[in-house]
């Protein structure tokens, strides 16, 4: 078959109609075809295949939660598929040390029309931190009422992917008015500009009590930490405290509300807070289920305000 030839769906089905287990030449380019007759065909990849899959991963970068990058082009050489017939899934990521991340927080989307489509990848979750260069393993599925094609491909090049934990995402904080984080389950007061704590850049997030005698109690979900670390520390950069007679403080809980650490009082400035051995063991045991609770403990009336530039739970 000429290299520039296109296969119609009728021609493709005619090639496989004679029986199952037929090996079609490498130019057909898919891993498996299923038709309504249950025929399966194993082949190699090529841009002139039924589905031409062309790697575009050289220089591809995902630089943050809102960034996308193209890793593959798809050519429908059958003329049978439309965009809603395609489903591409990121199966795993493999870093340069050979360590695989299964079910990674990365999603694949397909765009395009006619017979030309592009596969982009982007961060799919704001609750997991990811930052390295990876080979991306993808599964391609194309399906109509009577034909399906499935292929698994790994990018030729390592793709730099950074998915950061966005504290401003509605699922990552909790106060009286907004946020869907699991803890605290009894919030009091509000967080203004919750995403400001993402960076240590003098842009602050303000936690404000509801006034009167009410104390503040708000929270953030924390990204997973290394379960095998020797030491955990909590770093805060506090720009301003207005609390009257009392203190602002913090402690860690899991999604059930179980207290993992004792409350520690917060002070202004860039400070690091350590934990006891028992607390560190509890942090390790809940390394992927951690919530930061920030509260006030006062006896006075009026608003209690805490301006936070940045915080992070670190492990070493």
CB 203 within 8 A of CB 275: no
Q: Do both 193 and 73 map to the same domain? A: no
Kindly report, residue by residue over 240-257, the tens digit of the pLDDT. Answer: 999 888 999 999 999 999
**Which of 144, 163, 182 is where one domain is finished?**
163
CA distances from 138 to 143, 157, 198 (A): 16, 13, 30
Is 168 domain-assigned?
A: no
**What pLDDT is attached to residue 170?**
87
Does 23 share its domain with 106? yes
CATH of the domain at 248: 2.60.120
Stretch among 131-140, 206-215, 239-248, 254-263 having the lowest mean pLDDT = 206-215
Quote the tokens at residue 179: 């946020």
Q: How far is CA 122 from the centre of its chain?
A: 8
What residues make up the domain containing 106?
A: 9-163
Of 163, 193, 214, which residue constitutes the final position of a domain?
163
On whether both 146 and 76 belong to a single domain, the answer is: yes
Q: Is residue 147 part of a domain?
A: yes
Boundary (domain end) residue, out of 163, 181, 213: 163
| Total tally of structural domains belonging to the chain | 2
What pLDDT, in 10s, does the model give residues 50-69?
889 999 999 999 987 778 99
pLDDT for 25 equals 31
Q: Say whether both 307 and 242 belong to one domain.
A: yes
Is the pLDDT assigned to residue 112 strictly greater than 90? yes
Q: Looking at the predicted structure, is the pLDDT value of residue 23 above 50?
A: no
- Decide if 117 contacts 140 (C-beta within 8 A): no
């Amino acid at each position: 078959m000429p290299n520039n030839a296109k296969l119609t769906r009728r021609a493709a089905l005619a090639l496989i109609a004679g029986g199952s287990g037929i090996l079609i030449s490498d130019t057909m380019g898919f891993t498996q075809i299923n038709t309504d007759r249950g025929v399966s065909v194993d082949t190699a990849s090529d841009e002139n295949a039924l589905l031409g899959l062309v790697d575009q991963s050289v220089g591809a970068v995902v630089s943050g939660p809102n960034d996308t990058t193209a890793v593959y082009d798809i050519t429908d050489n059958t003329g049978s598929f439309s965009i809603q017939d395609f489903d591409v899934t990121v199966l795993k990521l493999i870093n340069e040390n050979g360590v695989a991340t299964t079910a990674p927080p990365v999603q694949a989307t397909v765009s395009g029309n006619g017979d030309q489509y592009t596969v982009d990848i982007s961060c799919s979750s704001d609750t997991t931190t990811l930052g390295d260069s990876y080979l991306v393993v993808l599964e391609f599925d194309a399906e109509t009422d009577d034909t399906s094609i499935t292929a698994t491909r790994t990018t030729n090049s390592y793709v730099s992917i950074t998915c950061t934990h966005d504290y401003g995402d509605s699922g990552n904080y909790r106060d009286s008015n907004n946020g869907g984080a699991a803890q605290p389950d009894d919030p009091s007061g509000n967080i203004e500009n919750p995403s400001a704590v993402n960076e240590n850049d003098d842009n602050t997030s303000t936690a404000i009590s509801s006034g009167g005698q009410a104390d503040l109690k708000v929270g953030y979900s924390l990204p997973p930490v290394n379960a095998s670390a020797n030491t955990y520390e909590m770093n805060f950069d506090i720009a301003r405290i207005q609390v009257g007679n009392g203190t602002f403080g913090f402690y860690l809980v899991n999604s059930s509300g179980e207290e993992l650490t004792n409350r520690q009082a917060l002070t202004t400035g860039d400070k690091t807070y350590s934990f006891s051995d028992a607390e560190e063991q509890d942090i390790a045991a809940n390394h992927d289920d951690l919530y930061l609770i920030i509260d006030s403990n006062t006896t006075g009336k009026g608003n209690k305000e805490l301006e936070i530039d940045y915080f992070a739970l670190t492990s070493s």
